[in-house]
Amino acid sequence: MNDTINALIRECVQHIADGRLDRLNYYPGCITRSALERVLTEIGSPVIPLPEGDIAGLDVLKPLANEDRWVAEFPLSTVDEQPSDWWLNLFILKEGDRLVVYLDDIHY
């Protein structure tokens, strides 16, 4: 399952790096697309895809054993900083027979 989760996280960051924010899932009550756009402008340096070494070091936690829900928090890398001081928080939920990544927050 970790390979699947890692691939989904990599895809999510790739969408951010490519500016394809419409392809992301936003968790209800958390960050919105317009808030993400503002933060990405504030960062000032383009986000880049996760470097290969960063994906191996991701911490993905499963807070409750009886739920199909995982949490990931990790620093983003930018053209100017690898890694940067900006952190991305994600939820990964099992919905039916597939896993779905949702953006929770991005913070400094």
What CATH code is carried by the domain that includes residue 41? 3.10.450
- Reported as a single tens digit per residue, the pLDDT across 4-46 is 999 999 999 999 999 999 999 999 999 999 999 999 999 999 9
Q: How far apart are CA 20 and CA 24, in angstroms?
A: 8
Rounded to an integer, what is the distance from CA 66 to the centroid of its chain? 23
How, if at all, do strands 47-48 and 69-75 pair?
unpaired
Q: Domain containing 90: what range? A: 2-107
The token pair at 92 is: 């990964």
How, if at all, do strands 47-48 and 60-61 pair?
unpaired
Residues in CB range of 64: below 8 A, 6 or more apart: none
The predicted model scores a pTM of 0.91
**What's the total number of domains in the chain?**
1
Residue listed under structure tokens 């990544």: 101
